[in-house]
Amino acid sequence: MQLEMIHSGPALVLASGSVIAFRGNPVTLIFGPGERKLKFEFSFVSEQTGEQSPLQVRLERPDDFTLRLTLVNFNDPLGAGTTVPKSVGVLQGRQLYIHYRVYHLEESADKLIHYTLYQGEEVRNG
């Protein structure tokens, strides 16, 4: 049997997977229909300021179709990431969400990222 679709509650899972960053490089997910592809760029930065450096997520939108996430101090081998799906826009009239978790791979600069993109509730104008 072939899996046709995945739902989690009211949300449709559009894409889900795991990626190990190649030699500490950013991870880019390109997703979507037609020419209007969405791009999610994950980069990883360590800014150690003390014993317990705080986690930060810096968001940039260089254009209407790109979300750049700079994940600062995501250096925990037990993982860190979103605790609830984060709204990142609208796709085909429905709310678009991303959920991710990042694990630091000991003995290297590489990170393992688990991600899921969801399409949620219909967005109504007005």
pLDDT at 84: 95
pLDDT at 2: 81
CA dist., res. 25 & res. 64, Å (int): 23
In a domain? residue 80:
yes
Model confidence, pTM: 0.86
Are 80 and 101 in contact, with CB atoms under 8 Å apart? yes
In a domain? residue 12:
yes
In a domain? residue 49:
yes
From first to last of its 126 residues, what are the pLDDT tens digits of the chain? Answer: 888 889 999 999 999 999 999 988 999 999 877 778 899 999 999 887 767 778 999 999 999 889 999 999 998 889 999 999 999 988 888 999 999 999 998 878 789 999 999 999 988 875
In a domain? residue 17:
yes
In a domain? residue 90:
yes
In a domain? residue 1:
no
pLDDT at 104: 93
Are 15 and 116 in contact, with CB atoms under 8 Å apart? yes
Total structural domains within the chain: 1
Contacts 24+ apart (CB under 8 A), 25-33: 27/111, 27/113, 29/115, 29/117, 31/117, 32/65, 32/91, 33/92
Instruction: Write out the residue range of the structural domain in which residue 56 sits.
Output: 6-122
